[in-house]
């Protein structure tokens, strides 16, 4: 039986968070919440006689992305018209880059579930403008041109992806990089980041491509993984039955978990591309590229490696903390506060305690009131044995809820750890006298009793005893 190899290439469209649109001065507004058709002008509506001007900030954002994706940044950039009619496109053409895009021949490494990485080549990164938005309701179609002309970056991978899960890992990686660069919020529900896989199958070992279908309107990475997996299965069923795959655009039905035919795909020649006559070629010189390169932050892969080497974090902890640039920044600020508190200790508290509180409250790191300095202050109080680990967790809960500092919570709750050796020794002695049976059992070889006795001391001190001291005292007393 023939084995089929799935071939997937991904097109990612990312709106750029520039202040104004790609070719006019209209503000870039939130396409979900802003009143419709309030951020429009003759240029982005394509009125006769209007003249577009290239947005410098959008170009710089594009150069940033091209560098971060290891592309060769191109000096000569040409904008072209892609002609087609659709109601969300007032101009009846989209200005895009066709033959001479801003970035070529890049790559990105993705993390596979096995812990290995795989390199996915990036064919091109090009600048264009977004279209308007159509809404269909009650038998009517409404059009909002606020989004028309918003700077859009298209990132096209080579067909190096072979499964839905790889497609997902690639999408997540690109999103993470864009968020690190601060050029896109990654908010897929709002449509500012859109992912479209091209999927085809071919007999394993073959070098020619099979007929591909393109999946549209995927609004999550889960939909990308599941939709691609479904499409692979659907095409394989057709091919095994001796049929032929039709080249078309397909949608993903999120609740039915199936893909469905939308329209038969146009070929590039249908768009009648030609150079945009209203825009001069854009020359990006080496000096400009160098200047932009210097503004790049540390990128996710570099951060991940540094966290493991410099901070001695496990690969898992490093990945969790480096996933979101804001979490990473918060963590790195905490690391600089007090050199006596190790990054590993801070990482443990952030991942195991703070994230749990954030998840329960459905808050992001930007929305919590605890500052990195306040967390480290708390960890300092644990380290110098003012309070024990156990009380520390309770104090953190309260800090999270009330915004109060660790010191004030410890004072008001009387949580200061009991490290007075004489006082604890007296408590231990009393306890052993009260629990003669348990002591006898311990001496008779039942070592489990020890845990019970420690628990009793902690109870007698309302959890405030210094656990190490209790342990030592108990060892002495039982001996």
Shortest spacing between CB 42 and Zn ion, in angstroms: 7
Q: Which of 41, 104, 296, 460 binds Zn ion (CB under 5 A)?
A: 41
- Residue 147 CB, nearest distance to Zn ion (Å)? 11
Measured from the CB atom, is 129 or 332 closer to Zn ion? 129
**Judged by CB under 5 A, how many residues of this single chain contact Zn ion?**
5
Q: How many CB atoms lie within 10 A of CB 121?
A: 14
Nearer to Zn ion, 42 or 243 (CB): 42
Nearer to Zn ion by C-beta: 59 or 90? 90
24 touches Zn ion by CB under 5 A: yes
What's the closest the beta carbon of residue 345 comes to Zn ion, in angstroms?
A: 52
Q: Which residues have a Cβ under 8 Å from the Cβ of 312 and sit 6 or more positions away?
A: 342, 343, 344
The dihedral sign for the CA sequence 137, 141, 145, 148: positive
Burial class for 131, CB neighbours closer than 10 Å (0-12, 13-18, 19+) = buried
Interface stretch with Zn ion, choices 34-42, 69-77, 366-374, 376-384 (CB under 5 A): 34-42
The sign of the dihedral angle between the CA atoms of 259, 263, 269, 271 is negative
**Exposed/middle/buried for 376, CB within 10 Å: 0-12, 13-18, 19+?**
buried
Backbone region of residue 121 per phi and psi (left: phi > 0; alpha: psi in -120 to 50; beta: other values) = beta
Whose tokens are 């480096």? That residue is 322
CB of 149 to Zn ion, least distance (A): 5
CB of 47 to Zn ion, least distance (A): 10
Nearer to Zn ion, 42 or 315 (CB): 42
Region binding Zn ion by CB under 5 A among candidate stretches 21-29, 212-220, 363-371, 457-465: 21-29
Binds Zn ion (CB under 5 A): choice among 10, 17, 22, 44: 44
Least separation, in Å, of the C-beta of 39 and Zn ion?
7
Nearer to Zn ion by Cβ, of 43 and 174: the residue is: 43
103 by DSSP, 3-state: which? strand
Part of the chain binding Zn ion (CB under 5 A), chosen from 22-30, 340-348, 417-425, 450-458 = 22-30
Residue whose CB is less far from Zn ion, 53 or 134: 53
Single out the segment in contact with Zn ion by CB under 5 A; choices: 36-44, 309-317, 353-361, 465-473.
36-44
Residue with tokens 């020619």: 208
**Closest CB to Zn ion among 28 and 378?**
28
Q: Are 176 and 116 in contact (CB under 8 A)?
A: no
Determine if 26 is a binding residue for Zn ion (CB under 5 A): yes
Q: CB under 5 A: which stretch of 17-25, 82-90, 152-160, 241-249 binds Zn ion? A: 17-25
In the complex, minimum distance from the CB of residue 43 to Zn ion, in angstroms, rounded to a whole number: 5
Q: Which long-range contacts (CB under 8 A, 24 or more apart) does 50-55 make?
A: 51/278, 52/22, 52/23, 52/24, 52/95, 52/276, 52/278, 52/279, 53/23, 53/24, 54/22, 54/23, 54/79, 54/279, 54/282, 55/18, 55/20, 55/21, 55/22, 55/23, 55/151
Cβ–Cβ < 8 Å for 264, 247: yes
- Tell me whether residue 30 or residue 312 sits nearer to Zn ion (CB atom): 30
Tell me which residues touch Zn ion (CB under 5 A): 24, 26, 41, 43-44
């Amino acid at each position: 039986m023939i084995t089929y190899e799935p071939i997937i290439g991904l097109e990612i469209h990312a709106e750029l968070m520039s202040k104004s649109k790609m070719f006019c001065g209209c503000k870039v507004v939130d396409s979900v919440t802003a009143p419709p058709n309030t951020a429009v002008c003759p240029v982005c509506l394509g009125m006769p006689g209007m003249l577009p001007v290239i947005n410098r900030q959008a170009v710089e954002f594009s150069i940033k992305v091209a560098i971060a994706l290891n592309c060769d940044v191109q000096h000569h950039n040409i904008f072209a018209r892609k002609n087609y009619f659709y109601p969300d496109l007032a101009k009846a053409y989209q200005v895009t880059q066709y033959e001479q895009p801003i970035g070529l021949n890049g790559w990105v490494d993705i993390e596979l579930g096995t812990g290995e990485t795989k390199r996915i080549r990036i064919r091109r990164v090009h600048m264009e403008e977004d279209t308007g938005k159509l809404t269909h309701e009650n038998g009517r179609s409404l059009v909002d041109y606020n989004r028309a002309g918003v700077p859009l970056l298209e990132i096209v991978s080579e067909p190096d992806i072979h499964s839905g899960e790889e497609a997902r890992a690639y999408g997540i990686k690109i999103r993470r990089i864009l968020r690190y660069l601060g050029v896109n919020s990654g908010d897929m529900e709002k449509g500012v980041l859109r992912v479209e896989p091209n999927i085809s199958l071919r007999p394993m070992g073959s070098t020619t491509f099979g007929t591909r279908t393109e999946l549209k309107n995927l609004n999550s990475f889960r939909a990308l993984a599941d939709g691609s997996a479904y499409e692979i299965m659907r095409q394989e069923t057709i091919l095994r039955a001796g049929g032929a795959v039709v080249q078309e655009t397909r949608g993903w039905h999120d609740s039915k978990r199936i893909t469905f035919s939308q329209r038969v795909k146009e070929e590039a020649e249908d768009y009648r591309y030609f150079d945009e006559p209203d825009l001069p070629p854009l020359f990006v010189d080496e000096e400009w590229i160098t200047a932009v390169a210097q503004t790049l932050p540390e990128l996710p892969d570099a951060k991940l490696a540094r966290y493991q080497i410099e901070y001695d974090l496990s690969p898992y902890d490093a990945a969790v903390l480096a996933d979101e640039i804001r979490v990473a920044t918060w963590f790195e600020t905490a690391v600089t506060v007090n050199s006596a508190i190790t990054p590993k200790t801070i990482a443990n508290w952030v991942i195991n305690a703070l994230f749990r509180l954030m998840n329960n409250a459905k808050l992001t790191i930007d929305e919590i009131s605890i500052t990195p300095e306040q967390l480290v202050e708390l960890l300092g109080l644990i380290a110098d044995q003012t309070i024990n680990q156990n009380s520390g967790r309770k104090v953190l809960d309260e800090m999270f809820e009330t915004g109060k500092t660790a010191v004030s919570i410890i004072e008001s709750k009387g949580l200061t750890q009991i490290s007075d050796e004489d006082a604890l020794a007296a408590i231990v002695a009393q306890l052993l006298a009260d629990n003669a049976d348990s002591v006898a059992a311990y001496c008779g070889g039942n070592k489990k009793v020890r845990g019970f006795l420690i628990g009793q001391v902690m109870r007698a001190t309302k959890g405030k005893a210094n656990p190490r001291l209790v342990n030592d005292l108990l060892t002495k007393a039982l001996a």
